[in-house]
């Protein structure tokens, strides 16, 4: 994943996009792309959307990740560390349920 992050940051840097992007704009862009991800699912089942719009969904997922990486970079957040920390919080908040005894 680290090589993908570096590829995203290099692409952005080569085009000087990082110069004009601030945290607010990047957060808005994440939200907009996430909403575009919903469009293929409108008016059909999840299974139908995946079957008929797989490539479109894949591209929107990538757009969300690209903006997320850009925001993390802008804010000097280590994504791997942030995810690890959040998973620890969620582990305490949502423990694995005990199996029902028979």
Provide the CATH number for the domain formed by 2-93 in this structure. 1.10.287.1080
Alpha carbons 62 and 39: distance in angstroms, whole number: 15
Alpha-carbon distance 77 to 79, whole Å?
6
pLDDT digits (tens, 9 = 90+) for 25-71: 999 999 999 999 999 999 999 999 999 999 999 999 999 999 999 99
DSSP annotation of 44 reads: S
Contact partners, residue 51, CB within 8 Å, separation at least 6: none
pLDDT at residue 101 is higher than 60:
no
Residue 45's φ and ψ, nearest 5 degrees, are: -75, 165
Residue-range domain boundaries for the chain: 2-93
Question: Mean pLDDT, to the nearest integer, of 3-8?
Answer: 96
Q: Residue 47 has what pLDDT?
A: 96
pTM for the complete prediction?
Answer: 0.86
pLDDT at 97: 86
């Amino acid at each position: 994943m680290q090589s993908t992050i570096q590829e995203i940051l290099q692409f952005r840097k080569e085009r000087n996009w990082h110069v004009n992007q601030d945290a607010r704009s990047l957060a808005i862009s994440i939200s907009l792309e996430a909403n575009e991800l919903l469009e293929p699912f409108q008016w059909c089942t999840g299974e139908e959307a995946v079957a008929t719009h797989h490539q479109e969904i894949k591209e929107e997922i990538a757009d969300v990740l690209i903006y997320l990486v850009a925001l993390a970079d802008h804010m000097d957040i280590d994504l791997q560390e942030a995810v690890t920390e959040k998973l620890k919080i969620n582990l305490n908040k949502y423990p694995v349920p005990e199996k029902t005894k028979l």
